[in-house]
């Protein structure tokens, strides 16, 4: 039921207005009676999990003795999954009270849950969770309700993103911080052979096999929010026959994807959707396949051979929207079908890695020390 309600709020203006006016006013009223705690930090990750750049910042703060007096709290969808953390279930009255009380907010998505109740003295750092290829915020169909104008710090990795966030999230230009995403800091340092072998062993992968990481982005629900499934139009048995002697395929679905249809997992094709550290997967992979996901930009520091498989490009443009001239920008990396994918994987020597350097120069200008920079900004006023 909750999933259906979220879908209606996302897609229909009437539900958006009702939610914002009625629920938002109620939370603001409660806030009049909740005192700000200057030593409390509320974190939220992507899809209600403990993950992403918020986790990088959390780990950094937790390890530094100068922050030992701070109370660190996570807003999560399923508190039972995190018995070792101080958590509160999102979308509950307790969650909103916690948000009203915390002096510091660190989020990868909107910590206010689509509402607007931030107090003037609350310091809000939003890292977001990927450099956008697909349209986001008020550019997405049915959305005109995004307003991040009260956010103190909003992370970008390049100048490409700046006008998008200002226009489609209503972020103020003075709030933009050019640090790169904290979650990507360790991708600027390639792991050694022993570390890579250890990750493979932990995943149950033959250490002698090369890795294909297939990470498609999520598709919108076609049944009014009941399911968010993905049905990839390929024959993975054929992939196994052609590539199985040399490669293992890790399929990494987006956190919002509920089910991967028509896939039988085995020793060749493995489900890596719930593996907690996507950076480890990028560190060990030899080939990355994606479509409209920002994971392409995340992987650029590692110079991974990347291919694009936009099997539903026209439909995706129509239903979701894409910022870039996709066919033109990514033309040298696009595969038209699975035969093309297999051929390009087999002919590694034909891959032009200089293309990746060009993308990095344009779309990944900042990064490498983002976590420290973000933490220093978060507590900048306190240090004065």
- Write the DSSP string, 202-267: HHT--TTSEEEEE-------SSTTS--EEE--S-HHHHHHHHTTTEEEEE---TT--EEET----S
pTM for this prediction: 0.91
What is the per-residue pLDDT for 267? Answer: 93
**Spatial contact of 79 and 91, defined as CB atoms under 8 Å apart:** no
Which CATH number is associated with domain 2-181+368-383? 3.40.50.11820
What is the per-residue pLDDT for 117? Answer: 95
Residues present in the chain in total = 384
Task: Using alpha carbons, select from 287, 281, 291 the residue that is nearest to residue 351.
Answer: 287
Q: Do domains 2-181+368-383 and 185-363 have the same CATH topology?
A: yes
Domain ranges of the chain: 2-181+368-383, 185-363
- Residue pLDDT, tens place only, 187-232: 999 999 999 999 999 999 999 999 999 999 877 645 444 556 677 8
The two structure tokens encoding residue 141: 């169909």
**Spatial contact of 41 and 106, defined as CB atoms under 8 Å apart:** yes
Distance CA 294, CA 297 (A): 5
pLDDT at 116 over 60: yes
- Residue pLDDT, tens place only, 148-188: 999 999 999 999 999 999 999 999 999 999 999 999 999 99
What is the per-residue pLDDT for 79? Answer: 97
The two structure tokens encoding residue 103: 């002096």
Spell out the CATH class of 185-363. alpha beta
Residue 128's Cβ-count burial label (10 Å; 0-12, 13-18, 19+) is: buried
Task: Using alpha carbons, select from 220, 365, 191, 221 the residue that is nearest to residue 283.
Answer: 191
What is the per-residue pLDDT for 233? Answer: 86
pLDDT at 264 over 90: no
In order of 222, 226, 230, the CA distances from 180 in angstroms are: 34, 35, 30
Q: What percent of the chain has pLDDT over 90?
A: 80
């Amino acid at each position: 039921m909750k999933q259906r309600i979220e879908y209606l709020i996302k897609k229909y203006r009437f539900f958006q207005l009702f939610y914002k006016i009625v629920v938002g006013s109620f939370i603001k009223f409660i806030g009049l009676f909740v005192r700000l705690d200057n030593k409390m930090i509320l974190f939220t990750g992507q899809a209600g999990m403990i993950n992403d750049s918020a986790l990088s910042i959390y780990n950094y703060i937790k390890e530094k003795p100068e922050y030992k007096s701070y109370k660190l709290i996570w807003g999560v969808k399923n508190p039972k999954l995190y018995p070792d953390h101080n958590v509160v279930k999102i979308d509950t009255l307790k969650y909103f009270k916690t948000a009203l009380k915390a002096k510091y907010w660190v989020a990868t998505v909107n910590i206010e849950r689509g509402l607007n109740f931030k107090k003037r003295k609350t310091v809000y750092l939003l890292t977001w969770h990927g450099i956008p290829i697909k349209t986001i915020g008020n550019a997405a169909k049915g959305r005109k309700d995004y307003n991040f104008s009260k956010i103190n710090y909003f992370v970008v990795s390049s100048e490409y993103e700046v006008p998008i966030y200002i226009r489609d999230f209503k972020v103020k230009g003075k709030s933009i911080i050019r640090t790169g995403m904290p979650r990507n800091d360790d991708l600027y340092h390639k792991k050694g052979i022993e570390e890579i072998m250890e990750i493979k062993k932990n995943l149950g992968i033959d250490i002698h096999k090369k890795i294909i990481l297939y990470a498609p982005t999520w598709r919108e629900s076609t049944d009014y929010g009941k399911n968010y499934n993905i049905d990839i139009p390929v024959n993975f048995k054929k992939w196994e026959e052609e590539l199985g002697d040399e490669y293992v395929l890790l399929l990494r679905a987006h956190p919002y994807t509920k089910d991967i249809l028509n896939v039988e997992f085995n020793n060749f094709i493995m489900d890596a959707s719930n593996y907690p550290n996507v950076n480890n997967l990028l560190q060990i992979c030899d080939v990355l396949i994606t479509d409209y996901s920002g994971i392409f930009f995340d992987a650029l520091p590692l110079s991974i051979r990347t291919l694009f498989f936009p099997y539903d490009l026209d439909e995706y443009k129509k239903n979701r929207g894409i910022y870039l001239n996709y066919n033109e920008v990514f033309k040298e990396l696009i595969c038209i079908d699975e035969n093309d994918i297999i051929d390009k994987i087999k002919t590694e020597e034909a891959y032009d890695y200089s293309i990746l350097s060009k993308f990095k120069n344009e779309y990944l200008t900042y990064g490498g020390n983002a976590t420290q920079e973000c933490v220093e900004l978060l507590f900048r006023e306190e240090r004065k």
